[in-house]
C-alpha cells in the first residue's frame, strides 16, 4: 500500500481539491438535546455560515456522538470522574473536596476558553487552569498536556459545557491575542507553504484526497478521533496540521497555540460545545 502523500507543494490547492459533498443538513441531537451546529455570522466574518465539524462526517460517525454510550470518549470521562474524587498531592485533597460536584462547579467553563488570567497576564487554555489548580491547591505534580489524565479531565470538564454556545471574550486584553491568532491563521508556513485558511476557509466541504475538509472549528475538543483511536487535545490537532504541511509545530500550551485557540473560538462563536466530540 502506498504511503499517502497528503499534498503536493503548490501556490494554491484549488486544483487538487475534488468537488465534495459539503456539510450535510443533519441536526445534531445528543441524548435528546438539540445542539447548534450551524450559525449565520454577522459583521465582517469571512464566512457567511459556520458549521461544526460534525456536519462533515459520515452518518455512522455522526451517530457515535449522539449517544453517550456509543461515544467512545465516555470511558475516559468515567476515568475523570474517578480522578475528580481521588485525593492527590501534599494536600491529600481531591478536586471534589474544594469544588464539590463537577456538574455545578464546572458548568459553562469550557465554553469561555481560553480564559484571560489577570495574574499571568495572558489567556490560559483549560489545561493551564487544571495544572495550576493541581499544583497550587493540591500540591501535586502537573499532568502532561496529552496524558490520559489531562485528556480525561478536559473531556469531563468540557462535557459540563456541552450545548452551551462557544463564547470567548474578544475585547479588552483578549483583543490583541485574537489578532495574533488571526495572523497565525492566515500566515503561510512550512515546506508546503500553506496557511489554515487555504483548506478551512477556501475549500471546506471539498475532499482532500480521502478526507472531507471541515471549517476547522474547535467546539468539539478534546475530541475522540478514529485516527488516534482515542481522545486528543486541540493543540495536538494544531500540531498535526502543521506537520502535514511540513512546518515545525509550535508546542502544546505555547502562546502561539493559545492565540490560535482564542482566534478560532471567536471565529466559531455561537456553535454549541460538543465536547467530547467524535471525528475521523
Residue numbers annotated as active site: 241
What is the nearest approach in angstroms of another protein to the Cβ of residue 115? Answer: 25
Contacts to another protein by CB under 8 A: 1, 4, 6, 57-61, 63-64, 69-70, 72, 74-76, 78-79, 148, 151-152, 199, 208-211, 213, 225-227, 229-231, 236-237, 239-241, 243-244, 280
Copy the grid coordinates of residue 198.
Answer: 487555504
What is the nearest approach in angstroms of another protein to the Cβ of residue 176? Answer: 28
66 contact partners, CB below 8 Å, separation of at least 6: 28, 29, 30, 31
Nearer to another protein, 4 or 19 (CB): 4
- With cell 475522540, the residue in question is 224
Nearer to another protein, 122 or 236 (CB): 236
Nearer to another protein, 3 or 43 (CB): 3
What is the nearest approach in angstroms of another protein to the Cβ of residue 269? Answer: 22
What is the nearest approach in angstroms of another protein to the Cβ of residue 227? Answer: 5
Nearer to another protein, 105 or 207 (CB): 207
What is the nearest approach in angstroms of another protein to the Cβ of residue 57? Answer: 6
Spatial separation of the C-alpha atoms in residues 173 and 117, rounded to whole Å:
10
Nearer to another protein, 64 or 95 (CB): 64
Amino acid at each position: 500500500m502506498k504511503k499517502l502523500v497528503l499534498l503536493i507543494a503548490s501556490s494554491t490547492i484549488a486544483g487538487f481539491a475534488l468537488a465534495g459533498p459539503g456539510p450535510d443538513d443533519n441536526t445534531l441531537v445528543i441524548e435528546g438535546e438539540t445542539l447548534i451546529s450551524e450559525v449565520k455570522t454577522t459583521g465582517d466574518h469571512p464566512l457567511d455560515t459556520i458549521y461544526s465539524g460534525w456536519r462533515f462526517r459520515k452518518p455512522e460517525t455522526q451517530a457515535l456522538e449522539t449517544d453517550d454510550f456509543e461515544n467512545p470518549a465516555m470511558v475516559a470521562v468515567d476515568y475523570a470522574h474517578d480522578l475528580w474524587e481521588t485525593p492527590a498531592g501534599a494536600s491529600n485533597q481531591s478536586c471534589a473536596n474544594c469544588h464539590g460536584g463537577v456538574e455545578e462547579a464546572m458548568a459553562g467553563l469550557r465554553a469561555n476558553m481560553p480564559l484571560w488570567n489577570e495574574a499571568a497576564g495572558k489567556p490560559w487554555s483549560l489545561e493551564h487552569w487544571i495544572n495550576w489548580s493541581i499544583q497550587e491547591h493540591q500540591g501535586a505534580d502537573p499532568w502532561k498536556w496529552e496524558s490520559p489524565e489531562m485528556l480525561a479531565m478536559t473531556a469531563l470538564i468540557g462535557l459540563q459545557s456541552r450545548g452551551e454556545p462557544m463564547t470567548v471574550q474578544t475585547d479588552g486584553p483578549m483583543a490583541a491575542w485574537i489578532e495574533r491568532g488571526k495572523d497565525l491563521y492566515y500566515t503561510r508556513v512550512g515546506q508546503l507553504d500553506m496557511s489554515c485558511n487555504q483548506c478551512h476557509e477556501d475549500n471546506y466541504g471539498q475532499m482532500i484526497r480521502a478526507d472531507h475538509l471541515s471549517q476547522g472549528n474547535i467546539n468539539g475538543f478534546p475530541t475522540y478521533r478514529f485516527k488516534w483511536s482515542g481522545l486528543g487535545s486541540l493543540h495536538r490537532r494544531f500540531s498535526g496540521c502543521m506537520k502535514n504541511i511540513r512546518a515545525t509545530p509550535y508546542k502544546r500550551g505555547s502562546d502561539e497555540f493559545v492565540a490560535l485557540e482564542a482566534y478560532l473560538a471567536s471565529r466559531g462563536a455561537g456553535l454549541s460545545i460538543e465536547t467530547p466530540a467524535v471525528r475521523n
